[in-house]
Chains A and B, each alone.
Chain A
């Protein structure tokens, strides 16, 4: 299914809880990204990583954390500090460098605060 898998597809969070969204790719891509999409809105970059054990904040990193311990995996934790976490979260991976090519997206995780 495109080589990049997100889980779960739907996630419900109670107020004050941390939750972790999974993203795994088998495309051997160095770069991985997390985006947030609100209804009728564009894709806003939360965090990205170009290499294992390194990552950079995107435009809306507050209230989120990530890790990149393995090339294949880039989990996103939505912390209790994120005041409005209900959204559709998309993970993507991409080959980088001189031969940069298309970004492949996971199927997304829809997070709802209950």
Chain B
């Protein structure tokens, strides 16, 4: 089955700097790659997603890149702000009946 690995597990950045989180997946049939943000005690919420027919997608300060050949995708947050502090999860889906598999999460701390 699908296995998604996410790195780093924790990330501390200075406000205004960039943050990058990387994920790899194992099943080449996966075709949908969402990123979720989870604030403390709350439900995960989608921040951006990408499909396998696209290499890059941007939404304001957030971007995601996908390398299908290498089976990895990354989240880039530019000009980080304190409200970006949260846990971020990557996921992969599309293979084997849309089983949605998550990475282990990255705890991001933006220091003022």
Comparing B58-66, B74-82, B91-99, the segment that makes contact with chain A is B91-99
B73 within 8 Å of A by Cβ? Answer: no
Q: Which of A2, A35, A50, A103 has the most CB of B within 10 A?
A: A103
Contacts of A103 in B (CB 8 A): 34, 46, 91, 100
The interface on chain B, measured as residues whose beta carbon lies within 8 A of the other chain's beta carbons, has a size of: 25
- Report yes or no: B100 in contact with A107, Cβ–Cβ below 8 A: no
In angstroms, Cα B32 to Cα A31, docked, is: 15
- Report yes or no: B105 in contact with A42, Cβ–Cβ below 8 A: yes
Contacts of A105 in B (CB 8 A): 43-45
In angstroms, Cα B6 to Cα A59, docked, is: 17
Residues facing A in B41-67 (CB within 8 A) are: 42-46, 49
Known A100-B93, A107-B43; judge A50-B98 contact (CB<8 A).
yes
* Chain B residue at minimal CB-CB distance from A42: B104
Residues facing A in B1-58 (CB within 8 A) are: 1, 6, 31-32, 34, 42-46, 49
Contacts of A101 in B (CB 8 A): 49
In angstroms, Cα B99 to Cα A59, docked, is: 11
Contacts of B101 in A (CB 8 A): 45
Contacts of B31 in A (CB 8 A): 100
A48 within 8 Å of B by Cβ? Answer: yes
- Report yes or no: B103 in contact with A42, Cβ–Cβ below 8 A: yes
Contacts A45-B102, A101-B49 supplied; 13 other A-B pairs, CB < 8 Å = A2-B43, A31-B98, A41-B104, A42-B6, A42-B89, A42-B103, A42-B104, A43-B105, A92-B100, A102-B46, A102-B49, A105-B43, A105-B45
A-side interface residues toward B, CB under 8 Å? 2, 31, 33, 35, 40-45, 48, 50, 56, 58-59, 90, 92, 94, 96-97, 100-103, 105-108
